[in-house]
Amino acid sequence: MDKSTLLLSVDFTAAEKLGSIHDGLDGRPVVDWAKGERPDSLVGVKYALVWEFDHDLFDRMPDLEVIFSAGAGVDKVLSNPALPKDIPIVRFVDHSLTTRMSEWICMQCLNHLRQQKHYDAAQKKAVWADAPQPQASDVTVGIMGLGVLGQDSAKKLKALGFNVLGWSRTQKEIDGVVCYDESELDVFLSKTNYLVGLLPLTAGTTAIFNRENFTKLAKHPVLPSPIFINGGRGKSQVETDIVSCLEDGTLGGVSLDVFESEPLPGGSPLWHFENAYIFPHVAANSDVKSLGAYVDGQIKRYENGEGLENLVDLKLGY
């Protein structure tokens, strides 16, 4: 049986340095819309892998049956006003994506715990300067967002010795992690030294990381804290609040991989804080070969009547 064509509308320019999506697609034919391929007709193209795309793209695809998001987050896909409402959307879930994110979260918690910024500054000045070094067990990390990424991060932080709490819209159960639901946000924040954001972007999570909530975080008796770490979605944070909270000490430091507007404008004050780690949305870059294999596998499941996995719930927004 001939393989159905997949339409791509994703710019893989940087990510493809680690491989090619075609390596994972098992020979499946592709129309690469992002690279300028514009066939006269898209009739018969049943599948689309997208991130940012033309508003009229799906109007050209009368036989479209499944939309695949190129990332774990789906807000860019869902925000497109031309998105068909009756076609299933599948989000990307893969071990490589999960592992990259949890590695980054653990790295940031350890950077702040071991006061890496202090030692970087001392090294530049050739100064031999010690700083307090509490154990991980002396710090409570609170993770907001307990999907696949949040749960894996929680387990790895526990393995490093951190005390870990979790918060999500509906309460989850994770071994060794006390979890809170939507109604218990203030209690959760009051026990948290390091706040980690891994939330999907929805109406309820937009701007949730703000001054009001930062002021509710627990201060550590020795370390600069509270600390805010965001690897989720940029529009979940209020950057003017982050700036003012860094200025007045409400926050002792931040690690940010996502921003309200990307790339982060050169004029943003966030670039210049000595206690801020700034990353260009690279915490969990998609392994494009794995993405290709995932999409190809889901198409095969679908065509074999086994059903699609990791479907997006349009009512929840993730």
pLDDT tens per residue, range 90-146: 999 999 899 999 999 999 999 999 999 999 999 999 999 999 989 999 999 999 999
pLDDT reading at 251 higher than 70: yes
Query: pTM of this prediction?
Result: 0.91
- Average model confidence (pLDDT) across the chain: 94
- State what percent of residues in the chain have pLDDT above 90: 81
Say what the pLDDT of residue 281 is: 93
Say what the pLDDT of residue 298 is: 97
pLDDT reading at 16 higher than 60: no
Domains of the chain: 6-94+286-303 (3.40.50.720), 97-278 (3.40.50.720)
Distance CA 215, CA 117 (A): 23
Say what the pLDDT of residue 76 is: 83
Closest CA to 188 of 207, 171, 176: 171
Say what the pLDDT of residue 1 is: 41
- Give residue 314's Cα distance to chain centre: 19
- Residue 179 phi/psi, 5° resolution? -115, 145
Question: Is 100 tagged catalytic?
Answer: no
202: tokens are: 């929805």
Please name the amino acid found at residue 202.
T
Distance CA 142, CA 24 (A): 36
What SS3 state is found at 188? Answer: helix
- State what percent of residues in the chain have pLDDT above 70: 97
pLDDT, tens only, 273-305? 999 999 999 999 878 899 999 999 999 999 999
Question: Is 91 tagged catalytic?
Answer: no
More reliable by pLDDT, 294 or 315: 294
Distance CA 300, CA 296 (A): 6
pLDDT band for position 26 (cuts 50, 70, 90): very high
Distance CA 196, CA 220 (A): 16
Q: Which of 22, 114, 118, 281 is catalytic?
A: 281
Cβ neighbours, 10 Å, residue 148 = 18
Say what the pLDDT of residue 54 is: 84
Closest CA to 67 of 1, 10, 130: 10
Distance CA 109, CA 194 (A): 7
| Residue matched to tokens 């966030």 | 270
Torsion of CA 147, 148, 154, 158, to 10 degrees: 150
Average pLDDT over residues 228-232: 98
Say what the pLDDT of residue 71 is: 83
pLDDT reading at 211 higher than 50: yes
Contacts of 287 (CB under 8 A, 6+ apart): 15, 18, 19, 94, 96, 97, 100
Q: Which of 91, 112, 220, 233 is catalytic?
A: 233
Say what the pLDDT of residue 146 is: 97
Average pLDDT over residues 38-61: 92
